[in-house]
Structure 1
Amino acid sequence: MAMSYLKSRSDEPLVDVTLGQLLDDTAARWPEKEAYVFRKQGVRMTCAEVKREADRLAAGLLSIGVGRGDVVAWVVSTRPEWIALGFAVAKIGAVALPLIPLYFWSSYDDIVSKVMAKVKVKVFLIENFPATEDFEGTLSFLKRAFPETTSQKTRGLTFDTMPSLKSIVIVGDKNHEDAFYNLKDIQSLGDDDTARGRVQEAQSHSDCHDAVMLTLTSGSAGLPKCVEHSSFTIVNNTLLHVRGTGMDTKKTVLMPTDLTEAAFIFHLPIITVGTLVLPIDESPTVTELFSAIMEERCETTTLMYVKHFHEFLHHPALNDFNISFLKQVSVGGNAVTKPLVQRAAEVLPCVDIQKMYGTTETMSLAVTGPGRTKEQIETTVGNLLPHMEMKLVDRHGQIVPLQHEGEVWVRGYSVFRRYRGDEEKTAEAKTTDGWYKTGDIGILEENGLLKITGRKEEFIIRDSTNVHPTTVEQVLLTHPKVFDVKVVGVPDPASVEEICACIILKKGQTSDQEEMEEFSEKHGLIDDYCPGYVIFMDSFPVTSTGRKFDRKKLRDIAIERLSLKEGAE
């Protein structure tokens, strides 16, 4: 019997190169090639300019004591300094921890500060955002979070709340009376030949297998885990992904998120020698994406989250912009439903929709790739990228037969090194022989294509039946009145859990539970899978990063709306 195991091969070997070496090599070969377009700031950076700014900043960081293995965290919006920071930290063998601004400001006190302390941040850079009616402003925040800075400079200070932290650097206007370093001060330290020589010396001792970047998982409960990757994993994953999707043949690429949302691919134009277009300094609106595509003649996109792609396809101004240059859109971050792919084919008939599957712990794992049939794009996440192994296993860790559901486990070069500061959770997620347990439930077909059917922990146990939300959602999404639907399990004294369908209707539509129940039965849901509750909503809650739908919060909302109680008899 054929089993759900696959090892992807490639004639092209993986490359041993650090991010710093990659930048130097590309800048030497194509110095005048335009690499980044920052539309908000009106800045267009060539490869040579990126290298120059990265070298200056790397030298400055060395001058304030940053060394190999030190963690440098930053809260910076999408601006040129972000790119310089990413490469500068890599050049000197340090470790980057970019933090999403919205998440940072909303979660610093109870979450982010603890994570920063756990991973031992040494230097912290933060953008100088002004105070507003709803926001205290960067300087007021720093004086509250780090009271030591009110009486002394931060140079060489020991902070009670974060003992590892040695320096705080302000990015932006210098109006803080020397209480903190300013980024321009740091940059100016790297203007002489001696400083640049120190950068080359530090870079010569860095290794592509060293940790180079940390990123937080977007969990909805407890402290997020801090995922550790090396230059080796980041560079090779990007290379194999762009080749697998055909993105390497596109000249101009749109980034539909802010930079920190796509931290693993900030170096994309240095690999592809294309141009990365960044529409604004934070998460762009759909109309800002339309404008950027039209004015910069963007041919493809980096990852667009499902939520944003949904807005993109249903935006009333879609036909007001000439986006005929767009030939490809990459979508992922959550389940890409069949109706969404069908909508894309309807309103963007000349655009190739690339479904992406991956995790923070592995980066990109599978893509639908060019040449897939309509059915394959609608129902699968494509083929495993080269140089990886995958198996689907049952609850005992045993491989299941082909075309049977199992948890997706993967092994290979792109699997994260560890959760920094959390060896226990690392051991739970990775086996001793290197398999990462994704927690995703899928089906491997005979042709090697992978279907993702849901998440392991999301199963609803209704009486003795395991029901996955996706099974119910896919049926209700085909109802002509339904705009979006999410299914959660809510407490039930008889069945332990009952299925609750949370539905957003299309504008101007009305419905009720009876209509949805009849539709479910008519379209193939057996009694055990039909929702016992249906509630109608205007929107769904998302995690604090704003990236993903928060099923736990939605469950809490449903329980409250239905006046249910946990453990009720």
Structure 2
Amino acid sequence: MSYLKSGCDEPLVDVTLGQLLDDATARWPDKEAYVFRKQGVRMAFADVKQEADRLAAGLMSIGVGRGDVVAWVISGRPEWGPLAFAIAKIGAVSLPLIPLYFWSSYDDTVSKVMAKVKVKVFLMENFPATEDCEGTLPFLRRVFPETTSNKTKSLTIDTMPSLRSIVIIGDKNHEDAFYNLEDIQSLGTDASAWGRVQDAQSHADCHDAVLLALTSGSAGLPKCVEHSSLTIVNSTRLHMKATGMDKKSTVLLPTDLTEMPIAFQLPFTAGCTLVLPSEESPTVSEILTAIGEERCETTTLMYVKTFHEFLHDPALNEYDLSFLEQVSVGGNAVTTPLIRRAAEVLPSVEISKMYGSTETLTITVTSREMTKEQVESTVGSLLPHMEMKVVDRHGQIVPLQHEGEVWVRGYSMFKCYRGDEEKTAEVKTADGWYKTGDIGILDDNGLLKITGRKEEFIIKDSTNVHPTMVEQVFLTHPKVFDVKVVGVPDPALVEEICACIILKKGQTSHPQEMKEFSEKHGLIDDYCPEYVIFVDSFPVTSTGRKFDRKKLRDVAIEKLALQEAAE
């Protein structure tokens, strides 16, 4: 039957993030923990601890205590890691927000999230005004009008009663209503303040909530996922050990730090150096340059979109990738053609596929011990100390090699969606199983194959069509750069299949060519698309992390001049 429970001789470690920082610094005080290439800053382990201790003491001096939520909007700056550790030392909870998402979604989404989770202190980088951004101080005065007349730094905000203090990071300002990060740092220098931090850290527990991470928004508005030190530290440790990343000395972060918030503690878990190529999501050029100049041996999770651009960069061969041994990729379906492309252009680099979610962290990984076919067709084996089962629509376990929904249980599961008990209960059973919403098959070797998501099924007459099965075929076409398949309304069949294709630069095509190609390359009639459209790009979710299939469906319906079925 499709059920697995993975054992492990190595026990889980019961350590808080504050303890992790202190222990790692004692072991590697002078080793580089972070390299911030944009700012030219290289921080040793001891530097991070010193700054974290100062910030923890300063935050406690303005009222941050155990269980309080501290939110921030910061680009990939050197303050990021020390701030996260500082909040953990207090026993408080971090809520990092992606700057681009914050600016575009504050009024209709982020403000509600911050109010729901009861943010007490809000830190914000002093972003200058641009065409797309009104600037930090004008923004704060607009959304918190109380700050314009406030003469103290202890705030009372009508729209967010929990909020007590706002801290500006960056250029010093003299607004009476706001602290500057320099103010917080100066408050954390006396012995009594440091004594309060030590006392708070001694009462922190590895099972306490320490981080709130927003979901990608691919299934609606983002939810606030609650994780503890236990889940973050052990998931990182066991994932790195399973893939051999724990043996690498220099690791590149190919995305924005806030998009992958648990990465900040990676050096302290594995004793490596984490390289950040840019303040924001780095370009492929910045990633390739950083790999060569910093001699990076591996990467943290590279999202599929970036991986695709990475492998197809026309200047790929011009960069020094001689030190690169491994690339970790995931966040969405990693297609077989993409894995084969990697084998072609990076023959000496191991591609490690990851499967997981914001709620579960890493669940499965591929490894070099697997065959080429297994790496191409599966997402690998279950990490230690975890359970997994594949179930039918009644929650009953299906036989091996049968399709069903993937459920998982174990130490790395999120605690809840903070402030939303109803949504938590929808996806998490009373006995701890998390319903991933992914459709998969467990094979005889204990390897998992993901075939789609429940809500992404295209129901064509009586046939359930997985978009990825159709996409795999089109990706082998020499003119196709990328493709996504969506279901569009059909009066007779309920839904029809529409292939939305981005062509390679300089290429032209027409729908009939693509339809004929799909028929000649193995798609049965039920899986052949009735419609083919060509687009320049795919819409993304509200956080910008993944492509938005629902928005793309709307684009296709509009281009094809179709009508939704009447209710």
Q: Secondary structure at the match of 2:142?
A: helix
Q: Secondary structure at the match of 2:289?
A: helix
For the residues of structure 1 that align with 2:10 and 2:133, how far apart are their CA atoms? 51
Which amino acid is the alignment partner of residue 329 of structure 2?
A: V
Percent identity between the two aligned chains: 80
Which amino acid is the alignment partner of residue 192 of structure 2?
A: T
1:190 to 185, 188, 205: 188
For the residues of structure 2 that align with 1:423 and 1:175, how far apart are their CA atoms? 40
For the residues of structure 1 that align with 2:27 and 2:500, how far apart are their CA atoms? 54
**Residue aligning to 1:548:** 546
**Residue aligning to 1:371:** 369
Report how far residue 337 of structure 1 moved: 0.5
**Which whole-Å deviations, capped at 9, do the CAs of 1:175-214 have from their partners, x for residues lacking one?**
3433300011001111111111111000000000000000
For the residues of structure 1 that align with 2:345 and 2:439, how far apart are their CA atoms? 31
2:85 to 79, 84, 87: 87
For the residues of structure 2 that align with 1:255 and 1:136, how far apart are their CA atoms? 29
**Residue aligning to 1:480:** 478
**Residue aligning to 2:269:** 271
Match status 1:524 vs 2:515: no
2:393 to 385, 392, 395: 395
Report how far residue 98 of structure 1 moved: 0.4
Which amino acid is the alignment partner of residue 517 of structure 1?
A: K
Match status 1:439 vs 2:401: no
Q: Secondary structure at the match of 2:42?
A: strand
Q: Secondary structure at the match of 2:254?
A: coil
Which amino acid is the alignment partner of residue 76 of structure 2?
A: T
Which amino acid is the alignment partner of residue 361 of structure 1?
A: E
For the residues of structure 1 that align with 2:514 and 2:48, how far apart are their CA atoms? 55
**Residue aligning to 1:495:** 493
For the residues of structure 2 that align with 1:221 and 1:156, how far apart are their CA atoms? 38
Which region of structure 1 is more displaced relative to structure 2, 552-561 or 126-135? 126-135
Instruction: Note if contact 2:217-2:543 (Cα within 8 Å) is conserved in structure 1.
Output: no
Match status 1:177 vs 2:168: no
Q: Secondary structure at the match of 1:80?
A: coil
Match status 1:346 vs 2:349: no
Report how far residue 134 of structure 1 moved: 3.0
Structure 2: where are the runs of 5+ without partners?
A: none
Which region of structure 1 is more displaced relative to structure 2, 13-22 or 542-551? 542-551
TM-score under structure 1 length normalisation: 0.98
For the residues of structure 1 that align with 2:374 and 2:220, how far apart are their CA atoms? 37
2:24 to 10, 23, 26: 26
**Which whole-Å deviations, capped at 9, do the CAs of 1:145-193 have from their partners, x for residues lacking one?**
1000001146222101111100000000013433300011001111111
For the residues of structure 1 that align with 2:152 and 2:207, how far apart are their CA atoms? 32
**Residue aligning to 1:137:** 135
Which region of structure 1 is more displaced relative to structure 2, 508-517 or 113-122? 508-517
**Residue aligning to 1:323:** 321
For the residues of structure 2 that align with 1:293 and 1:97, how far apart are their CA atoms? 29
Instruction: Note if contact 2:218-2:546 (Cα within 8 Å) is conserved in structure 1.
Output: no
2:8 to 3, 7, 10: 10
Report how far residue 371 of structure 1 moved: 2.1
Please show how residues 71-470 of structure 1 align to structure 2 within 5 Å. Answer: 71-153=69-151, 155-220=153-218, 222-470=220-468
Q: Secondary structure at the match of 1:266?
A: helix
Instruction: Note if contact 2:292-2:320 (Cα within 8 Å) is conserved in structure 1.
Output: yes
Instruction: Note if contact 1:66-1:122 (Cα within 8 Å) is conserved in structure 2.
Output: yes
Question: What number of residue pairs does the alignment pair up?
Answer: 567
Structure 1: where are the runs of 5+ without partners?
A: none
Instruction: Note if contact 1:492-1:568 (Cα within 8 Å) is conserved in structure 2.
Output: no
For the residues of structure 1 that align with 2:219 and 2:406, how far apart are their CA atoms? 22
Cα RMSD of the aligned pairs, angstroms, is: 1.1
